[in-house]
Amino acid sequence: MVPVGFGVSGSTAVVFLGVLIASGTLYTAAAGSAEQLSDARSAESEELLDRRNTVINVASVTYNTNTSTLTVTATNNGTTALSVADTSLLVDNEFAIPDSTAVDDDTATDVWAPDQSLVVTVDADTAPALDATTPDRVKVVAENGVAASNTTVEEVG
């Protein structure tokens, strides 16, 4: 026969052990979530700083009517180094795939550093907006979303 007081003490111990295990699991989950939130806030702060330090300027846009070639020169006036491969070009609100790119006459680099100029050349074959018409607007968009546009397109030919 089991003593009378053991059932209450035993069940209290089991309940206490269950509460202890549940508290440990809850703390682990809460700590993991808090760490993920902290990491996300840090990443967002870094991205915001990069955007604030990014300044690009479309210096010139030239369209050759004989060859249907568009040449865009943009300058990185900010303090953030940008990626050439991650920089996009929009011609009359249509995405244009560059035929060639060069940063200060270097065609092999992917780094567009501060105070350097990026020259992008696009042919009508890869940009439908250039089919026999001079574009009205050209926009250069950096990898972090900062953009610059130019509505003055110089025709040569």
User: Any alpha helices (H) in 53-154, and if so which ranges?
Assistant: none
Q: Between residues 134 and 86, which one has the greater pLDDT?
A: 86
Model confidence pLDDT, tens digit, residues 69-114:
899 999 999 999 999 999 999 988 888 899 999 999 899 999 999 9
Q: What is the CA radius of gyration of the chain?
A: 30
- The total of structural domains in the chain comes to 2
Range ranked top by mean pLDDT from 2-6, 23-27, 115-119: 115-119
Q: Which domain holds residue 15?
A: 1-52
Question: Nearest-CA neighbor of 116 among 92, 143, 80, 150?
Answer: 80
Mean pLDDT of the chain: 86
Please check whether residues 43 and 113 belong to one and the same domain: no
Please count the other Cβ atoms lying within 10 Å of the Cβ belonging to residue 123.
17
Model confidence pLDDT, tens digit, residues 17-37:
888 888 888 888 888 888 888
Please check whether residues 42 and 27 belong to one and the same domain: yes
